[in-house]
Amino acid sequence: MSLDDTLNNVPLIEREPKAIAPHLEHNRMLVGRAMQRDEERFLARLFPSEAEREVRRHELDQLRSGFEYRRRALHLAVETKLQAVQEMCNDVLVTGKAEMRRKRHEFFAEEKLKLQQTMNQVTERFNAEMERRFDAIAKLRHESLRDAEEQRLLRAVDQFHEMLDQLGGEFVAIIHEGVSAKA
């Protein structure tokens, strides 16, 4: 066997100089101990002693307590956030309702004004027509015709004013009407 064949068949670690041999031996010993401890730990995990089981039980109790604490804290945080969101929604709802009410009141006030102006114009035209008709009655020669026509015009005036009052009352009733789900 040649020197090259011998070097190729010998592991690299054994080809090191003799000066580092004690270090290599010490290193092998440390690796062996580490492997042995790992094997012992494996066996200890499979077959723990009573003390180790007690330690594990306490560790599990601590973990459970920690998880329960975090669960309660999370629940409290969620409840707090939900309450904050609910309060924000209520605030938006109240603000929105107030704005809608203000707009509704403005709308109805404007419509009431328009209705009143229209009723005033119609009343002025009606009154002018009635004045003209009463003047025409005065020109009638027969008193019975004058009386009958005057009574008819007075009934028309009463009916007209009742109708105006009724229209105003119906408008107010519309304003106070609620929205019903039954339609």
pLDDT for residue 13 is more than 80? no
Q: What radius of gyration do the chain's Cα atoms show?
A: 53
First to last CA, the chain: 111
Place of tokens 């109708």: 163
List the one residue out of 144, 113, 149 whose CA is nearest residue 134: 149
List the one residue out of 75, 59, 60, 174 whose CA is nearest residue 115: 174
Using alpha carbons only, give the angle 141, 143, 144 rounded to the nearest 5 degrees.
120
Q: What is the pLDDT of residues 116-156, one digit of tens each?
A: 999 999 999 999 999 999 999 888 888 998 899 999 999 99
Q: In which band, very low, low, confident or very high, does the pLDDT at 110 lie, cut at 50, 70 and 90?
A: very high
Does the reported pTM lie above 0.75?
no
Distance from C-alpha of 156 to C-alpha of 130, rounded to nearest angstrom: 9
Q: Which residues of 119-133 are buried (b: 16+ CB within 10 A; e: fewer)?
A: beeeeeebeeeeeee
